[in-house]
Structure 1
């Protein structure tokens, strides 16, 4: 995460960023200011000529009636649109082409060589309405004041004349159309009136109202008759159905009509008398007696006669019902037919009214056209005073004209301000894009571990002394003191726990972890500890080069059981510091480092020495460092200032945390102590350098080389002490 992204971003940090990138701001400021100054000086003087015209929202109305083509608008919104339209017409191509043609502008530059002269002239014309008035200011910008005045005056005259000409042409066209339309409408009126009369004749209609009254009366009479017929049919139907039902039940004598029939009632009385006589004779005679048979025959004859009379009565009821039903149907049919006649009459009335309205409409339209034709003929003869455009002020050339642009002084000032603000903006943009680690705060924001210290940028004049042994060569230098500070912080970070095995690694390659592990070993040895440095980078080993020893035998031989620890431990020129080289590079480094044999070897190393420092490959590149972190007491993570990004540091920290590695802290390598915002380190460094001079000058050469190194850092020619290493691939001191 860059300083620009920090949640604690404040004015102090802004000052640091601006000071650090001050040359970027200065270069951008000079480039922009110079460019603006040159561009302003090379511009031609431009003059402005203005004229004022009045555009009335309504043209003068002399005759009192509405014109066919009215100039202006009738309400607020229409007025607004009207004025916007007029402003565009003033700068339209037809108007500008007339100005160019009348003034022969296309014969002189810049119009002579232009591909589109009207478009070029349009860019010189400005139209500005004067607030709260009907006045409009028309301006023309040109390189010569007199020419600008001539163009401006010609433009307003052409626009004024064109506005009136538009009205006259439209009026002429409208008049011709009205004459033609009037002739056609006269025939239409005649045809419509004749068609209306023929419609009444064809349908034999004199008056729709009288005809409708007759039909309505018939409908009412038929409706009343139908109601009475329905009542009679229902009554006859009920009587017939009741008689039929009683007969089926064998109770025909209970039919109301039978009870009211005198003939049947007389026959019933005779039948009763015969029944009584039969009862008397039955007491004396047997059923087969001739007297009994005679009476029985008479009874049977009366019963047959009564049945026939009942049948005749029921048949009469049926005939009455049929007749009533037929009458009802007939009346219903007549009523429906009469209603249809009424509806047809209504349809005819609707058709009649449509035709009547058409005839009336044609007549009204003809009258209106005839009226408008006369009004238009009057409008055509009106004078120019009906034009709603007036020239109020013509353009004039002042005695001592001043150009409107370029405003050179203001442009240069604005260019300078823009250059300064642009440079500052560019600075913050570059800072936003820069996500490299540049301070302890950056590391602490990305790694949940304490910050242990810095290793400043350094180099030497003596080619025989490698940078890796710097703290041994210059024990009183400020750089060595920085390493001692790291040693002290590591000691305090143990929190009472003895740290015997430390893994020194980095997030990515070429960040100086090998240089850091060597100088940390030297510093701990100077503190009285017996230190063993182990080159556990089984992929790109380089510690043997720093100490100028062979790596034919080393750690891999011990792991494989081909040698003992005593066989591969090599004393170095630094008192108290021993080295175990890598040995032959194996095909499977991660598997070797993760074996139980490696864990036992590390324990044996811890028993033999006060402190064992392991140099391992980068965390993100391979898994070797993650595997090794499980068998050590702590891990020190190295980050190179200005190179290591926040993202890769976070990723390395997460990988170590995932295996529960004990991260003791972080160290910034190749730190430029003269960078803006880090004055504390610079004062500390300067103090230690002076102390070295007073104690024998051992730090004098180093300080000179650090200053040179600082200059190389700002010029972009940053060099690491491992730039000449073959197998190391550039890994080492920043």
Structure 2
């Protein structure tokens, strides 16, 4: 803003000193006024942009707030915290109190841990030497680590474990008995962790869970053995019936044909057939057991997540097929050699060595196929076991093929005997094979029955739990820390929420957002009612006087093309300090050397005569009704240069009276006879008086009570003013606390200290070393240090 365009506060040839607060009648100068005026000019130039087109009452001022809107406004947060500190303190104390209460009332929780080792790998004692038993082997070995963890966590194990405790111990577990089971790294060790309000109960419960699981595993294995025994018994009965049937057939054949023996050749052929059948049954049983174990391993492999590229099984290739074919030929040669040589002969032993070497090559080739991939440390051991088992299955296939060939050759040779001798040999062979199977089943039954009593579990206790001497919960330090942190965050969040829901105006930003108007001044909140009016303090330098001098300076700065000689002072709602602000502004202007008139046009609730201690018998209503002249109605005050036109008697219809031609002429006449006119009007909302009068003056000033006026009310009032098209100068925040952030870096607390030190000479000037003094004679200012 160009400083040359500003209009001086004085008129009628008043000097520039009077424009800066020096009265032409000899009122003392105040250097603070000039400093504050300069500060206001810089503030307006930096923070406000006022439309350059001010032409009479053509349109309202357009104001744009230049405050940055991006980023975090720490000052605004501090302002909210200062305003809402009681709520924040309550939220903080509540959160901290809850934390302390939890620490005082919460029962100490003790933890105990027991460790068991589980077995998932070794073969079953049942044995796979009998076809059909592979199902019991699989059921025993099918539980992985994860499966056993879930079993330990299950409700049945915990329920049975509680039964192992005493009645007094079980009471501590009612309603609170958490149990966690975790695998220790990649080992077979499982940690069973329990918690309780009693350390002895926690340790006893952890040990009881482990003991119950060990008994459960042992019982499971015993049930598997018992199931195998029952299966073997059923097979014995079946074979026994088949053996009895074949023996009866052989007996009837002997009685019918009279043949009780055959030639040595037939006997040898029958023996070879029986031997081949028995060997084939044994090999098939071994293959079935291997297949069952291979299936179980693959099921376990499927439960382990793969982190590397590894095969899930063995892929056959031509080299491996050639080895299997070679093994099959060696098995056939061995079977043929056994027909001529005993097992201890050099021929048979040589074939056994070749067979063993070929099987070793097959196993190594299977392992090389697996190790050729990038290893997975978790899956690799199980994959190696699968490779070995797969090679065993394929080697068994070679033996089965060889035995089937041997069995076919034996049957073919036996079929070349005479018919009756052939039938006799066949029956004899069947009886012999069934007898061998029966004997094998009986021996297996006895072995299983012996092993049932000595059956062991697949788990054992490694470390028993012991009572802990110190609780693990509650963590009092952490609880208190969390409650303090939550209290602080909750207090800030609650303060921000309450402030966002609060409709009241607290600072410049709130006022600007609500009204879209600049804030021209801040009027401090003064507790002492006598000091709230300049009528009582006079020209004594106070923060209140300096605030209104700053307001008067900013009003002058608002004029770009013409001086502001008359303004309307209004507010959105009653009790915002409108009338008192109008009187104080008029007094401050008069103390600055200007001829000032204060008109009370609040004809509904007039108060200026009370604030000024003047009679109200004759006033504005008397003038426009012709009962008195304007000079008779204007009353002098104790403030030099200030006259007051009170309202006079309250009319029955104030708006009609104000809208009359006589009222307009009276107002314009007052403006012509004074340098500056302040018009006190009713509030905006609900009344049209202020809007009507604003068309007769140079600008309108809206008063906003800090921490009392609502944003919606202020916004609605400003909208009504702007809709008239008349000039709206801005707003004034009244009742501003000394700590309010709206006043910026120079708060009223600084003013109090600045004006508290009186000049020892008694001239009312500050004893501050930079306080300005008035140089008599030429009106120039100089700096003088106080003594």
Q: For 1:500, which of 565, 573, 595 is the aligned residue?
A: 565
- Name which one, 1 or 2, has greater alpha-carbon Rg: 1
- Could you list the per-position Cα deviations for residues 228-283 of structure 1 after superposition, in whole angstroms to 9, with x for gaps in the alignment? xxxxxxxxxxxxxxxxxxxxxxxxxxxxxxxxxxxxxxxxxxxxxxxxxxxxxxxx
Deviation of 1:129 after TM superposition, in Å, equals 4.2
- Aligned residue for 1:579, secondary structure, equals strand
TM-superposition CA deviations, 1:496-521 (whole Å, max 9, x none): 41323211112333211111100001
Q: How many residues in Structure 1 have an aligned counterpart in Structure 2?
A: 481
State the Cα distance separating 1:662 from its structure 2 match. 0.8
The Cα of 1:6 is off from its aligned counterpart by 5.5
Counterparts in 2 of 1:548-697, with a 5 A limit?
548-551=613-616, 553-559=618-624, 564-566=629-631, 568-586=633-651, 588-675=653-740, 678-682=744-748, 684-686=750-752, 688-690=754-756, 692=758, 694=760, 696=762
Report how far residue 165 of structure 1 moved: 6.3
Q: Is the 8 A contact 1:637 1:666 kept in 2?
A: yes
2:545 paired with 1:480: yes
Pair 474,501 (structure 1): closer, same or farther in 2 beyond 3 Å = closer
> Aligned with 1:66: secondary structure?
helix
Distance 2:631 2:222 in 1: 118
Please name the residue that 1:404 is paired with.
472
Deviations 1:163-186, CA, capped at 9 Å, x for gaps = 77689999999999xxxxxxxxxx
Bigger CA drift: 629-638 or 135-144? Answer: 135-144
Q: Name 1:144's counterpart in structure 2.
A: 198
Which residues of 2 match residues 4-15 of structure 1 at below 5 A?
7=70, 9-15=72-78
Structural mapping, 1:280-429, within 5 Å: 383=452, 390-397=459-466, 401-429=469-497
> Offset at 1:639?
1.5
CA shift in 2, pair 1:481/1:385, >3 Å: farther
Match of 1:521 in 2: 586
- Where does residue 108 of structure 2 map in the other structure? 45
Shift of 1:33: 4.0
RMSD of aligned Cα (Å): 4.5
1:37-96 deviation line (CA, Å, top 9, x unaligned):
454255443321112345677996654533599478699xxx97x57854651xx2x544
8 A Cα contact 2:590 2:596, kept in partner:
yes
Following superposition, the deviation at residue 103 of structure 1 comes to 1.7
Cα distance in 2 for partners of 1:680, 1:473 equals 24
1:532 is aligned to 597
**Is the Cα contact below 8 Å between 2:172 and 2:197 reproduced in 1?**
no
Runs (5+) with no aligned partner, structure 1? 112-116, 177-373, 701-734
| Offset at residue 435 of structure 1 (A) | 5.1
Measure the CA separation in 2 of the matches of 1:170 and 1:597. 118
Q: TM-score with structure 2 length normalisation?
A: 0.52
TM-score by length of 1: 0.55
Q: For residues 122 and 453 of structure 2, what CA distance do their matches in structure 1 show?
A: 11
Distance 1:47 1:110, change over 3 A: closer
Q: Which residue of 1 aligns with 2:416?
A: none
Partners of 2:543 and 2:625 lie apart in 1 by 42
1:559, 1:70 → 2: CA distance?
A: 114
Unaligned segments of structure 2, at least 5 residues: 1-64, 231-440, 767-787
**C-alpha deviations, 1:178-237, integer Å up to 9, x for none?**
xxxxxxxxxxxxxxxxxxxxxxxxxxxxxxxxxxxxxxxxxxxxxxxxxxxxxxxxxxxx
- Is the CA contact (8 Å cut-off) linking 1:69 and 1:167 kept in structure 2? no
The equivalent of 2:135 in structure 1 is 66
The separation in 1 between residues aligned to 2:226 and 2:588, in whole angstroms, is: 108
Deviation at 1:24, TM superposition (A): 5.9
Q: CA deviation at 1:658?
A: 1.4
Question: Which of 165, 174, 180 does residue 126 from structure 1 map onto?
Answer: 180
Task: State the alpha-carbon separation in 2 of the partners of residues 175 and 5 from structure 1.
Answer: 89
Which residue is equivalent to 2:164? 102
Are the structure 2 counterparts of residues 495 and 136 from structure 1 closer, same or farther at C-alpha, using a change threshold of 3 Å?
same
CA contact (8 A) 1:25 1:427 kept: yes
